[in-house]
Structures are given as C-alpha cells and as structure tokens.
Amino acid sequence: MVSKSNLSIIIRIFSYSLLAMTFVFLLNNVLTVWFEWPGLKQLFANYGIFGFKKLSKPLEASILTTAYIQLFFYFAFTLLAIAYVIKSTKQTLETDAEILTKFTAYIIRSSFWAVLIVGLADLLISFMVVEKLVEPILGETLKVKLVIPAFRITFVHFPLILISFVIGYFTRGVGFIWLAVLVVASEFFIVVSRFIFEYEQAFQGDLVRFWYSALYLFASAYALMHEGHVRVDVLYTGFSERKKAWTNSIGSLFLGIPLCLIVLFLGMGGKASIINGPVISFEITQQGSNGLYLLYLMAVYLAVFAVSMLTQFTSYFMSSSYKLLKN
C-alpha cells in the first residue's frame, strides 16, 4: 500500500510535470508558428507513427534535428519538474497550491494591465488617425506606418505588453473592479458622445468589447481562486469537508484540467487554428483604420484563460489532495 508521503510525492510529480509539459507545448507552438520549426506532428509524420500519415518526402536532416530538439524539451522539462519535487520532498501540497495560486494571480494581474494600457494606447492612436492628428504631431512617416497592423502591433502593442508584465510583478491588486468600472464608463461615454455631441467612431465600441471580453475570461481564474464560481450548492453545502475535498479534486482532475488542455490543443493545433490564426495574421477589427487593432489579442484571451485556469485547477487539485491526505 502506498504511504501518504509517497502519494503526496506522486501527486506533486504529476502536477508539476503537467504544467511543465504545458509550458513546453506553448514554447513549441511559438517555435513552430513564428520560427518555422517543424513541430512534433511533422516528426511523427516523418516516420508514420501515432496515426500520422507518412510524409511522401522525408524531412531534411537539419529540419529533423530541430524536431528532435522540440521533442527533447518535453523530456528535459519533465525531468526538471521531477527533480524539483525530489529536492523539495518536505514541501507540502498546500504550499505547492499556494505557489501556483500566486502564479495564477500574477498571470491575470499582468493581463489586466496589458489590456488596460494597450487598449488606451490603441484608442489614442485610432482617435488621432480618424481626426487626422498623426501627421501634425508625429510626422508623415508615422502617419503611414501607424495604420499598418504589423507596425502598430510590433512596435506599440508588444512593448506595452512586456511593460505590463513588469508592472504586474510589482503590484498586488488584480484590478477587475476597475476594469468593470472602465467598461461601464466607456459605454456611458459612447451614449453621451452619440446623443449629445453626435460623435461616434468604430474604435469606441471596439474598446468596450475588448475590455468586456477580458473581464469575463480573465476573471474566471480569479473567481476559481476565491471559490466564486456557481455550484450546485443544494448538494455541496451539505457535504463534509472530506466529501468537499473529494468533489473538488475529482472535478479538477477529470473536468477542469482536461477542459483547459482541450482549449489549448484545439486553439493552437496549427497555424490556422482559432488562437494562432488571428495572431499570425495580426487580425484587426473589420472596421478598418477607424477601429482598434486589437482583434488578434482577443484570440490570445483564450490562451490566457486556459493557462490561468489550468494552473489554478492544478492548485485546487493539490490543495484538495492535501486535505484528503491530512485527514
């Protein structure tokens, strides 16, 4: 029979290995989509294994090497996760859960700052473009370049996103209340400008949709952190602490975690997938230069949602397992 200490180690190895492989999946997705690395699908198809149809033309040696490097990443990071668990055998599942919860909070906190700062910056640029203020203030060169999605996203959005993650590291408040207030204020501004000043542009509605979708998807992990999601309370409230722990651990393991993995695998399954496709093409609003250049980021929301929820479900699973083993 497996002892409680050994079972705790097994749970920790499983949890950290899962997160390590998810990180490698995201890393390989970037390498495959942005840097034209072959990916594991091409590697398996090269040999016709795991259900993949064998390639008519084998991969070149250099391409095959990069594919093996991508495969090696999975083994390397999984071994690092196992080594971390072995090195910290005295660390409890409860402590691990707290670490993961803090990491989840960092992800959604930084994402909040990103959508706030990038949204306001893009709103200002779109306003200047519509009102023809770019050339007098910034010059003719930027007037042309700022309406090009690749330029605006690469040289305006990306640096602001990096700054947002730095801000997220040094701040502690999540800020969803402020984001909700901003959504309401933006909608109110649209009503006032439309019916009083008879002024309305596409970027105003784009900003509301951009912030509202972020509020919904990012706050999901935050609600899970504070057990704020809707339950069937007529049953759950009557459970003992042990039954609640069983319910939470089983629900996280067989429902929550698989859901997040499905979102990631389907959303990043190829270059034309629902997450990768808009990001690669720098997809923007269909309103043209009058709208915000942020539609691609709304696809990224799904990835942020899946990663933050996966991390928090793993934390939930570990904390519930700790309660079961403790009792």
Across the chain, which has 327 residues, the per-10-residue mean pLDDT values are 83 97 97 94 92 90 95 98 95 95 93 93 91 90 90 95 95 78 89 85 87 89 78 74 91 95 93 92 71 90 95 96 88
Q: Are 15 and 103 in contact (CB under 8 A)?
A: no
Total Cβ atoms within 10 A of residue 253: 19
Give the model's pLDDT for residue 203. 84
Instruction: Give 136: exposed, middle or buried? Use CB within 10 Å, 0-12, 13-18, 19+.
Output: exposed
CA angle 317, 320, 323 (to 5 degrees): 150
pTM above 0.95, yes or no: no
Q: What is the DSSP string of 133-153?
A: -HHHHH-HHHHHHTTSHHHHI
Is residue 174 classed as helix, strand or coil in its secondary structure? coil
Alpha-carbon distance of 32 to 26, in angstroms, equals 10
Predicted confidence at residue 42, as pLDDT, reads 93
One-letter amino acid of 289: S
Looking at residue 227, its pLDDT comes to 74
Domain locations along the chain = 1-91, 92-326
pLDDT at residue 7, rounded to an integer: 93
**C-alpha to C-alpha distance for 75 and 68, rounded to whole angstroms:** 11
Residue corresponding to tokens 């700062």: 117
Amino acid (one-letter) located at 73: F
The pLDDT of residue 289: 60
Q: Within a 10 A sphere around the Cβ of 58, how many other Cβ atoms?
A: 12
pLDDT for the residue 114: 94
The helix or strand, by DSSP H or E, that contains position 119, with its residue range, turns out to be helix 93-130
